[in-house]
DNA sequence: TGTACATCAGTGAACGCGCGTTCACTGATGTAC
DNA sequence: TGTACATCAGTGAACGCGCGTTCACTGATGTAC
């Protein structure tokens, strides 16, 4: 049936370039639909109509609706991984990494929720996507790895981490640093997702300042 | 058209009791469907079939599919508000309140996500639901209000809160306490929602311990 | 450079499906006298 | 206690709809000789 995937290979014929271009446009229209009405409202026929072609034509590019959605999820993870990796790779410090994350989230809230939002019961992401998820964690850890150790006795969770740090196998950071990286992730996600979901709307404060305050709690825990 | 709502009034006739009972069963089946396949898969006809009645019969109880979903969202908020209020009202301390929250979330993850998950673009909750949301915040603040002040200079966000604390109008707590209440909310939501969405699955640590560590960061900020 | 053939993007008709919702109706339950 | 009437839960047929997906096809683009 339909050959549906093409990498970003270099030796591209005109036809391959065309295919890639149409695939890209399909995904762009899909993102517009998701931004407008949520991922569950995504419709292949509507995308086709919007592109001025018939519904079945899309099956040249994606094997099914599920395939398309999976591709979108993969792109979302990929985009986040690239953003985080770029920040970490260029030697960004924690605040820079945090603001990269926030910028990426605000740029397209529904894309953020496709990664971190309500899970669809029964959906299992393919392996290559979970691999990108690990990549994101690894890139974050890169930013923490040079961090000066923070005094204080080992906490229960840090002790527990001692037996459960396979996910950070490549990083020789002490347990306390792994813990801080996890807190970085969960705390920033906490503020961000509540902000994006509109839960601060009634209160009038500036979410950016709360975000920075949470960020600060990770840098100077004693002023928490 | 269909009289669709009945309060929890006391002077109930048998007919009213029957109505309330059927409404309740419809919602129970709806929750089952949501737990199985997510809120977007909810189908009136499927619920009717499951209850052994015809599709149109449901319109005696809910004006439309949207009405049913709104009722479910309202019930979710109501349930959370009751849980938090019960904890706060019985003089629970921060850890007890936090564990109440976690228990409520784990009891039905999809219900949690109906409150805090991916928002549907364009959906605006009716006023009575946002009122319950305020109630939740108020009950949380009740637990913080007696908290001993924490030394240290005022942070930028706390200063900012000075101008934006109308949402806490009933609570004379200092800005620093409001800030801590907000952090309580965002941090616990951060860990919880990542846990419920399965983002810790690959890593093998116990989410409950990370949750407790985050909780601890709110109680003894100096131990980070 | 031209011809013969293979590839493949896109079309249009058709499929079955389940959805939400309306409508006119039947029959049981409750109420008034 | 019995009769006449009103209420109202639930039915079954029917509506239009848009969905995902299949299939046999046309016609343009690319390839081989």
pLDDT in tens, B201-211: 999 999 999 99
Distance CA A202, CA B164 (A): 10
pLDDT band of residue B117 (cuts 50, 70, 90) is very high
The answer to whether A222 touches B221, Cβ cutoff 8 Å, is yes
pLDDT above 50 (res B187): yes
CB proximity list for B1: less than 8 A, separation 6 or greater: B63
Question: Are A150 and B183 inside 8 Å of each other by CB?
Answer: no
Quick one: CA torsion of B94, B100, B104, B109, rounded to 10 degrees?
50
pLDDT above 90 (res B149): no
Query: Which nucleotide minimizes the distance between its C1' and the CA of B51?
Result: D10
Residue A148 has a pLDDT of 74
The answer to whether B193 touches A159, Cβ cutoff 8 Å, is no
Closest approach of A5 to chain B, Cα-based (Å) = 27
Residues of chain B positioned with their CB less than 8 A from the CB of A94: none
Q: Among residues A26, A24, A19, which one has the least CA distance to residue A4? A: A19
The neighbour count for residue B18, using CB atoms within 10 Å, is: 11
Query: Which nucleotide minimizes the distance between its C1' and the CA of B67?
Result: C20
A157, A202, A216 ranked by CB distance to B167: nearest: A202
B122 has a chain A CB within 8 A of its CB: yes
Distance CA B160, CA A178 (A): 32
Looking at residues A191-203, what average pLDDT do you find?
97
Residues 41-70 of A with CB under 7 A from strand D: 42-46, 55-56, 59, 64-66
Residue B7 has a pLDDT of 41
Looking at residues B164-177, what average pLDDT do you find?
93
pLDDT above 60 (res B40): yes
Residues of chain A positioned with their CB less than 8 A from the CB of B191: 186, 190
Question: Are B116 and A193 inside 8 Å of each other by CB?
Answer: yes
Q: Among residues A119, A103, A132, which one has the least CA distance to residue A196? A: A103
pLDDT above 50 (res B43): yes
Q: What percent of chain A has pLDDT over 70?
A: 92
pLDDT above 60 (res B2): no
pLDDT above 60 (res A224): no
Distance CA A3, CA A20 (A): 12
Q: What is the pLDDT of residues B45-77, one digit of tens each?
A: 999 999 999 999 999 999 999 999 999 999 999
pLDDT band of residue B8 (cuts 50, 70, 90) is very low
pLDDT above 90 (res B177): yes
pLDDT band of residue A106 (cuts 50, 70, 90) is very high
pLDDT above 90 (res B3): no
Question: Are A186 and B187 inside 8 Å of each other by CB?
Answer: yes
Cα A122–chain centre separation: 20
Range with the lowest mean pLDDT among A157-161, A205-209, B9-13, B66-70? B9-13
pLDDT band of residue A152 (cuts 50, 70, 90) is confident
Q: What is the DSSP letter of B42?
A: -
Looking at residues B15-38, what average pLDDT do you find?
97
Residue B134 has a pLDDT of 97
Residue A221 has a pLDDT of 67
SS3 at position A128: helix
Of residues A135 and B170, which shows the higher confidence score? A135
Q: What percent of chain B has pLDDT over 70?
A: 92
pLDDT band of residue B14 (cuts 50, 70, 90) is confident
Looking at residues B89-116, what average pLDDT do you find?
97
Residue B81 has a pLDDT of 98
A169 has a chain B CB within 8 A of its CB: no
| Tokens 């709307």 found at | A201
Residue A8 has a pLDDT of 44
Please give the C-alpha separations between residue B191 and each of A102, A185, A189, B71, B84, in angstroms, as whole numbers: 17, 9, 8, 27, 18
Please give the C-alpha separations between residue B39 and each of A32, A195, B43, B119, in angstroms, as whole numbers: 21, 22, 9, 12
Distance CA A147, CA A95 (A): 13
pLDDT above 70 (res B129): yes
A133, A189, A214 ranked by CB distance to B183: nearest: A214
Q: Mark residue A192 as left, alpha or beta (left: phi above 0; alpha: psi -120 to 50; beta: remaining).
A: alpha
Distance CA B94, CA B211 (A): 13
B121, B161, B223 ranked by CB distance to A35: nearest: B121
Q: What is the pLDDT of residues A4-30, one digit of tens each?
A: 343 444 458 888 999 999 999 999 999
Number of H helices, E strands in chain B: 9, 0
Residue B222 has a pLDDT of 59
Q: What is the pLDDT of residues A39-94, one digit of tens each?
A: 999 999 999 999 999 999 999 999 999 999 999 999 999 999 999 999 999 989 99
Distance CA A46, CA B191 (A): 37
pLDDT averaged over every residue in chain A: 92
Distance CA A43, CA B34 (A): 21
pLDDT band of residue B4 (cuts 50, 70, 90) is very low
Gyration radius from chain B CA atoms? 20
Residue A11 has a pLDDT of 57
Gyration radius from chain A CA atoms? 20
């Amino acid at each position: 049936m339909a050959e549906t995937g093409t990498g970003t290979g270099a030796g591209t014929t005109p036809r391959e370039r065309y295919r890639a271009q149409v695939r890209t446009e399909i995904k762009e229209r899909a993102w517009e639909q998701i931004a407008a009405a949520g991922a569950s409202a995504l419709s292949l026929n509507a995308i086709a109509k919007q592109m001025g072609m018939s519904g079945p034509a899309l099956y040249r590019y994606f094997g099914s609706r599920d395939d398309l959605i999976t591709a979108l999820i993969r792109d979302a993870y990929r985009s986040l991984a690239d953003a985080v990796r770029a920040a970490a790779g260029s030697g960004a410090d924690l605040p820079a990494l945090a603001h990269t994350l926030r910028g990426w989230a605000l740029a397209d809230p529904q894309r953020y929720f496709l990664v971190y939002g309500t899970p669809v019961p029964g959906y299992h992401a393919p392996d290559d996507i979970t691999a990108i998820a690990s990549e994101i964690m690894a890139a974050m850890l890169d930013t923490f790895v040079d961090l000066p150790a923070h005094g204080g006795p080992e906490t229960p969770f840090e002790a527990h981490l001692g037996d459960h740090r396979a996910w950070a196998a490549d990083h020789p950071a002490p347990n306390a640093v792994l813990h801080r990286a996890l807190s970085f992730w969960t705390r920033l996600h906490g503020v961000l997702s509540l902000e994006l979901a509109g839960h601060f709307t009634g209160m009038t404060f500036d979410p950016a300042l709360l975000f920075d305050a949470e960020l600060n709690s990770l840098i100077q825990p004693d002023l928490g």
